[in-house]
């Protein structure tokens, strides 16, 4: 467990999520992506993983491994990595990208409901692009205009979405839910890609 967040209620730092690892799928993931990937077993699960998983799988009874984010990696490369991982879905692997479409802690307003206009605009831009499957608009999120520099100050919270978009098939059903901004500068929008039954 890595408690790599600050200033939250004490209860959050007492959460324990002892999920087992998945060395076989981790090795397969490395093979699919290629030689750039390195194993690092010194890191545990950070809050991007356990804060979500403890709600979806509270018994911690599923194997989990993490694919990290390198903020120097171009956005398009995250999408390409996701495409290399598509075959994992057919083996029962859930590819979960945990982050935020809008994540600017420097501009958070703890007493604000909803988002600043620039946060709402960017969230709408990304949500629409997801729904119509325009991955290029998301990779080149700067096309959203002035809001882009405020909403994505670094890639660490945005890149997981690109992994998931890359792993999605064009025929997948897209369900966008939990659509709202909070504290001015955070977006909690979530999306689910499932195989189309047709």
**CATH code for the domain in which residue 157 is found:** 3.40.830.10
Does 180 lie in the same domain as 132?
yes
Same domain, 5 and 63: yes
59 and 126 assigned to the same domain: no
What was the pLDDT predicted at 191?
94
Where in the sequence is the domain holding 160, given as residue range(s)? 72-198
Q: Which of 53, 68, 83 is the C-terminal boundary of a domain?
A: 68
pTM across the whole model: 0.92
* Predicted local confidence at residue 144, as pLDDT: 93
pLDDT of residue 42: 84
57 and 95 housed in the same domain: no
Q: Print the SS3 string covering the chain.
A: CCCCCCCCCHHHHHCCCCCCCCHHHHHHHHHHHCCCCCCCCCCCCCHHHHHHHHHHCCCCCCCCCCCCCCCCCCHHHHHHHHHHCHHHHCCCCCCCCCCCCCECHHHCCCCCCCECHHHHHHHHHHHHHHHCCCHHHHHCHHHHCCHHHHHCCCCCCCHHHHHHHHHCCCCCEEEEECCCEECECEECCEEEEECCCC
pLDDT, one tens digit for every residue, the chain (198 residues): 888 888 888 998 999 999 999 999 999 999 999 877 888 888 888 888 999 999 999 999 999 999 988 888 999 999 999 999 999 999 999 999 999 999 999 999 999 999 999 999 999 999 999 999 999 999 999 999 989 989 998 888 999 999 999 999 999 999 999 899 999 999 999 999 999 876
């Amino acid at each position: 467990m890595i408690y790599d967040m600050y200033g939250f209620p004490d209860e959050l730092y007492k959460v324990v999520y002892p999920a087992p690892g998945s060395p076989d799928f981790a090795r397969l993931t490395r093979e699919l992506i290629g030689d750039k990937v390195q194993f690092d077993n010194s890191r545990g699960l950070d809050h991007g993983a356990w804060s979500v998983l403890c709600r979806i799988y509270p018994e911690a009874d599923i194997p989990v491994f993490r694919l990290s984010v390198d903020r120097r990696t171009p956005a398009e490369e995250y999408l390409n990595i996701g495409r290399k991982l598509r075959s994992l879905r057919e083996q029962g692997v859930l590819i979960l990208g945990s982050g935020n479409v809008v994540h600017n802690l420097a501009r958070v307003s703890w007493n604000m409901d909803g988002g600043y206009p620039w946060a709402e605009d960017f969230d709408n831009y990304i949500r629409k692009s997801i729904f119509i499957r325009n991955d290029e608009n998301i990779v080149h999120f700067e096309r959203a205009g002035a809001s882009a520099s405020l909403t994505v100050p670094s890639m660490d919270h945005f890149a997981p979405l690109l992994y998931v978009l890359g792993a999605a098939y064009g025929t997948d059903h897209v369900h966008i839910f939990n659509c709202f901004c909070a504290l001015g500068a955070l977006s909690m929008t979530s999306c689910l890609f499932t195989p189309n039954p047709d």
